[in-house]
Structure 1
């Protein structure tokens, strides 16, 4: 329930923040803001070095084995490495934006906001790692709170307060300043809570034999860097369209395209929810090789996640212009065809199920990396070609085709390597729910019989 509520609030608040910013920023500034957001998101993926995923695995293993001191040292070492990654990535972006990229991405607007965007990258890295460290420790509440919920809440409060005071027109720098202040506050509180957790008495070493085997940076990076490479390739496959559009078109065109992309947060919520629920299912049954249970529970989760998304996606496809006009203003209604195409892409992502997650969490991360690298390279090359010749609508079609190719290839590999297929199947969903209900009914009857016998 914490995960569901947290994800729902994060998705809804992120969309609301973008809607409010589209009202106080002019079209060019809003387009530049969306590019800065995309850059910060990519910087967060690259700067964490994959440690935000590997830390969950390491912390869970140490917690299971009772090696608390090693878990503490692993968390601290990961935090140090991520801090280096954050500083290096943020400073590198600032340097590149003020020199080589000044005439490529967003021109003067992006250059004027380079410092704030660099800080945004650094804070994103720290926020991602700290939240996932809590998750690895089993503290779902704090992991949910510090994975964007608290910073988005502060952002909404700040936006609402400024608009209530009569500030109806903002500059790009003011918007990015508010972002960095809110994320900085969230990271400060999260870091303080994490250090407090690592200092409690029960982190003493309970397995003395493990004391001589302290974690090393090379060991952590050997696991995390392939994950980072896969995440970077996945970003290029799913989110590089804003960058590509920004190279060839003005910030105003980027804003219209980006408004449709931001509405995808509603559908992406169901993808995130599906993957979050499937993570626990895979972790529970993979160790004992209970693949049929992963498939059965997986199809139920995919079905429940996909059904409401189909309804929302249909609204976006049929009434795209009205939705964009209502959310962002009449300037953005022209992005209706782009919204329809991107909605189809997100529905394909849901129909295919959590194939990428299954490969990553079952020791097939190299297969996942190969698939994502090949499809992302082909997609980016095709996207650069078509956007120059035919514009944003063609770009959206290419991105969806790339997503379709990746999901289809991953589904085939899951079927080949694990012998299961976890995808959307409405008939199988009904069958699994009926079977699960019957099993629960039999369990209740057994409990009643045992209770009566005991009495």
Structure 2
């Protein structure tokens, strides 16, 4: 592998790891403090609201997040900076249309329908308008942050993709908690929206200062952007539904306090997925470059080496969660959340398999097989949702967690096999200690040979 590309991968990995670690710790701190400030009913309402806002912003950006990285990275690699700039403007146009549709529908119809008729959480009725603004901000935030990833600036991409917001909110909540000040649920939401807006403003200012990088010739077809983003949009929607549906099922079939318990376990599971998340963020532009230039052996070495690095800490975290799940929940959230211990262990096991299979979904998306990824995601997503509804009535929180883990294992298993079938690549971590040492040494030193 060229040393320049290796440097990009591992310099990016270091920055992504450092910044995302701050983000994960900030998010965890937010939940820890809120669990001590809010009641369990308010905590459950907060989990539901944030899931709706994230889902709404996902709908509004129409799969543009991954497309930004792909087109910008490829355009700059082909020395067509003007094409990257043209693509960014056209993608912002698509997002603006999506924002207008999604936010207006949420404010006028969907928001009230979901929070009152579906979830029956009365406290959310008064903040539908503020929630719509939050959706608007996040719809632009993530794609603009991904522009930095497309130019291999993993540091700023990681910082602006939610980390800056989480860090600011965590600091503010820490100060409120330590000073023993009062914070109502509505003040929390207003503050969150303000900080999200501030983060977006900073992102735009810094990106504007780098506009000289995109001066040059080249155009990008709007039709091409839509053709790439459409299957990714469907895949992302199904993935987000798969991620949030369990929380939504808990809100429908269980009391709001139980939603808080499940949400607490669900948020902690992010610690298991954190290493793979770092890998996925880092290898996205590298996948496009190596696959396009036919360096398949180099690409597989990177994918398996990075998957191995991600799997080892995930396994360690899982062991802690299984053996001492009740104690972890008690320390992090307090005694009111200990009853989510079994759900935490089950969710962690499903995510461990996710870590073992590596970046299989990302590889399908970035090698032109997004249609196959979409089909896999739809099929396994529907199965997981049906299981969640059926098992929620039987076993409550435990049943929902089991359904989610089964769905995740089947999805990643199919995607892992599909990558091998369509690209000839393996993405999984290796249990062979010889491979582990060799893969890490070779990728770090940049001396992988065919």
**Structure-1-length-normalised TM-score:** 0.89
1:299 aligns with 2:304: yes
The 1:203/1:354 distance shift into structure 2, 3 A limit, reads closer
Q: Deviations over 1:228-261 (max 9, x none)?
A: 1111111222331111111112210100011000
**SS of 1:126's equivalent?**
helix
Q: Aligned match of 2:434 in 430, 433, 437?
A: 430
Identify the residue that residue 452 of structure 1 maps to in structure 2: none
Which 10-residue stretch deviates more, 79-88 or 23-32?
79-88
Q: Is the 2:70–2:366 Cα contact (8 Å) retained in structure 1?
A: no
Q: Which residue of 1 aligns with 2:362?
A: 357
Per-residue Cα deviation, 1:253-306 (whole angstroms, up to 9, x for no partner): 100011000101211211201212332442342123232322233222111111
Structure 2 counterpart of 1:409: 414
Q: Does 1:158 align with 2:166?
A: no
Cα 1:382–1:61, aligned 2, differ >3 Å: closer, same or farther? Answer: same
Q: Is 1:53 matched with 2:66?
A: yes
Alignment of 1:151-230 (within 5 A): 151-167=165-181, 169-198=182-211, 200=212, 203-205=214-216, 207=217, 210=218, 214-230=219-235
Alpha-carbon spacing, 1:440–1:175, altered in 2? closer, same or farther (3 Å): closer
1:17 correspondence with 2:23:
no
Aligned to 2:77: 64
Instruction: Please give the alpha-carbon distance, in whole angstroms, between the structure 2 residues aligned to 1:29 and 1:59.
Output: 42
- Is the contact between residue 340 and residue 397 of structure 2 (CA under 8 Å) also seen in structure 1? no
Partner of 1:245: 250
Q: Secondary structure at the match of 2:368?
A: coil
Higher Rg: 1
Match of 1:234 in 2: 239
Measure the CA separation in 2 of the matches of 1:73 and 1:4: 31
Deviation digits for residues 299-333 of structure 1 (CA, Å, limit 9, x no counterpart): 22111111111111111111111110111111000
What per-residue deviation string (whole Å, max 9, x for no partner) do you get for residues 337-392 of structure 1? 00010110110111122111111111111000000001101211221122133312
Q: 1:139 to 1:19 in 2, by over 3 A?
A: same
1:344 alignment partner in structure 2: 349
Alignment gaps of 5+ in structure 1: 444-455
Instruction: Report the more deviating stretch, 384-393 or 259-268.
Output: 384-393
Q: Deviations over 1:83-116 (max 9, x none)?
A: 3323432332232222465221243122223223
For each residue in 1:367-420, what CA deviation from the matched residue of structure 2 results, as whole angstroms up to 9, or x when unmatched?
Answer: 000000011012112211221333121111011111111111112112222223
Cα distance in 2 for residues equivalent to 1:418 and 1:340: 34
- Map residues 257-272 of structure 1 onto 2, 5 A cutoff: 257-272=262-277
Is the Cα contact below 8 Å between 1:62 and 1:70 reproduced in 2? yes
The 2-side partners of 1:66 and 1:339 are apart by 48
In structure 2, do the counterparts of structure 1 residues 237 and 442 end up closer, same or farther at CA, with 3 Å as the change threshold?
closer
Show the 5 A alignment for 1:36-185.
Answer: 36-95=49-108, 96-99=110-113, 101-167=115-181, 169-185=182-198
The whole-number CA distance in structure 2 between the counterparts of 1:257 and 1:43 is 21
Q: Aligned residues, how many?
A: 433
CA contact (8 A) 1:151 1:182 kept: yes
Question: Contact conserved, 1:300 with 1:433, CA < 8 A, in 2?
Answer: no
Unaligned runs of 5+ in 2: 1-13
Contact preservation (8 Å) 1:375, 1:406: yes
TM-score (norm 2): 0.90
Distance 1:236 1:203, change over 3 A: closer
The counterpart of 1:275, out of the listed 280, 284, 305, is 280
Please state how far the C-alpha of 1:216 moved relative to its aligned partner. 4.8
Secondary structure, aligned partner of 1:425: coil
**Whole-angstrom distance in 2 between the partners of 1:111 and 1:227:** 32
Residues 291 and 79 (structure 1), Cα distance of their counterparts in 2 relative to 1, 3 Å cut: same
Are residues 344 and 432 of structure 1, via their aligned partners in 2, closer, same or farther at CA, if it must alter by over 3 Å?
A: closer
State which drifts further: 100-109 or 48-57: 100-109
- Could you list the runs of 4 or more consecutive aligned residues of structure 1 that deviate by over 3 angstroms after TM superposition? 214-219, 434-443
In the superposition, relative to structure 1, how do residues 246 and 67 fare at CA in structure 2: closer, same or farther (>3 Å)? same
In structure 2, distance between residues paired with 1:51 and 1:321: 40
